[in-house]
Amino acid sequence: MTQRHERIARRFNELKAADRAGLVTFISAGDPDYDTSLETLLALPEAGADVIELGMPFTDPMADGPSIQASTLRALEAGQTMAKTLEMVRALRERDDATPVVLMGYYNPIYCMGVETFLAEAAEAGVDGLIVVDLPPEHDAELCLPAKAHGLDFIRLATPTTDAKRLPLVLENTSGFLYYVSSTGVTGAAAPSAERVEQEVDAIRAHSTLPIGVGFGIRTPEQAERIARFADAVVVGSALTDIVAQAESPAEASRGVLELTRSLAGAVRRARETAEA
C-alpha cells in the first residue's frame, strides 16, 4: 500500500506535471445513508475527483453552512458513526490506492474516540490527512503533531482575515496542502471574486511552497474553472450536499453528485487551456 503521507504529495506533483489544478470534492460520510454514501465515495475518483474530503458527522458543525449542517445531521440520523466512516475508507482502499482521502470535521468526535485510537485506526484504514476546523495552531500538541507522527497530513485553513503576522503560525505545522477559505463566514457562502482570491493566493505563495486549494462558495463549473486558472486545487462541498438534499431518492442523490463532479472536473481540467487560448 502507498504510504499515507505520500499520496497527497504525489497527487499534487502529478497535477503540477500535468499543468492543471485538482478537484477536491466533499461529501458527508453516511449521507443520505451508509450504502449510498459508500457507493458515491467509490465512484468519485472515476468521476474526476483528485482528492476526496470525507466529512466526519458531528452534531454541532459550527463552521458549516445550512447545506453541510443538514448533510451531517442526515448522516447521524441514518446511524453514521466514526467506525463506519473509517470502514468506508477501508472499502475505498480495496479498490483505489492512489486517491488521497482527507477526513474533515471537528475535534469532539476524535476526542471522544481517543486521539491515539482514532489516529491509529485512521492510518490503518488508509486516511491521508485531517482537516479539523476547531483546533487552532496554539493546540497543535493535541492532534496536529500526533497525527503527523502517524503519517497523516494536517491541513490547515487560511482565510481572508489571516494577516501576515498570523500566517506563519498557521503554516508552521501544516502539510499536504493549505486550504484557502475564499470568503468569510460559513461553508456555502457567496461565490468569491476570482480576481480578489487570486491576489490573496499570490500573497500566501510568498510565504509557502505548499499547494493551495481554494474553497467556500464554489458551486458551478464556471466558477470552478475561473479558480482553477491560478489555484492548485478547487474545493467543492455545499453544491454536492445540496444535490443529496434535493434528490427524490438515494439513487438519484448519488447520480446527481457524480454528474456534477464530472462537470466540475471537466471545467477544472480545461481551465488553463482556456486561459492560454
Q: Which residues are catalytic?
A: 53, 64
Residue 31: φ, ψ to 5°: -105, 125
73-101 b/e (C-beta count within 10 Å ≥ 16 → b):
bbbbebebbbebbbbbbeebbeebeebbb
DSSP state of 238: H
Measuring CA to CA, which residue among 20, 11, 216 is closest to residue 104?
216
> E-assigned strands of 91-200?
101-105, 129-132, 153-154, 157-158, 178-181
Measuring CA to CA, which residue among 135, 206, 134, 202 is closest to residue 173?
135
